[in-house]
Structure formats: C-alpha cells, structure tokens
Amino acid sequence: MNRIYGTAIPDLETQMRFRMVRQGALASNVANADTPNYRRLDVTFEEALHQANGADPSAAHRVTRGPRGTRPDGNGVDRDQEVIGMVRNAGAFQDMATVLARIYVMRRMAATGQLS
C-alpha cells in the first residue's frame, strides 16, 4: 500500500497535528488580547516540518513568541488578525481532513472492489 500512496497519509497526519497546535496558539492569543505585556504566540509550518523530519511527531511543533507590542499596555495581539488566522488555519485543517477521508475511501474501494 505504501507504494500507491507514498508518504501522503503520514504527511497529512503531521500537517493536521501542526494545524491543531497552531490553532491552540492562536486561540491563546485571542484569549489574552487584553492581558498587559502579553506577547503573541505562533507556530510556523517550516519550523514544524523541519523538526518533524526524523523527529517524534508529538515534539515536532515549536511555539514562537512575537515581539513586545506597541500598545501602551505592551500587548502584542491584534485580535482581528488572530481571528482571521484561526479561520484560515481551521479551513486548512478541514481541507486536509477531506483529502485524508478521500484517500481512505479509495483504499476501501480498492480493497473491496465496491464503489460505495
């Protein structure tokens, strides 16, 4: 089966884990939008992908801190940007889940010979 799908399934699973970690960081930013001196958190895909190669997937994600904010209270969160990021991140997760589901449907069809 690996010859047919290659690394598609493990890669999708790794990317979906990354999206879950990133969603948590973005949600934390929204929750702390009014906390004085709070510095926004984020996870970049390149970091997670680089760390995931040859690493334990659960330890593949590294959260980074943004710079100190320019608001008078030192908070570095723009709530609107964080919510936009959450929506985009959730959409990307849903797209990956759809692809993964279709791969499993194709596997079942190949194994059983049935179209449904």
CA distances (Å), 1 to each of 9, 56, 76, 112, 116, in order?
A: 11, 23, 47, 14, 20
pLDDT in tens, 2-55: 566 678 888 899 889 999 999 999 999 999 999 999 999 998 876 556 555 655
* Other C-beta atoms lying within 10 Å of the C-beta of residue 15: 20
Strand-pairing partners, residue 104, are none
pTM of the model: 0.76
Per-residue model confidence as pLDDT tens digits over 93-106: 999 999 999 998 98
Count Cα atoms within 13 angstroms, Cβ side, for 27.
Answer: 8
Domain boundaries, the chain: 2-112
What are the start-end ranges of the H helices in the chain?
A: 2-5, 8-31, 45-52, 79-112
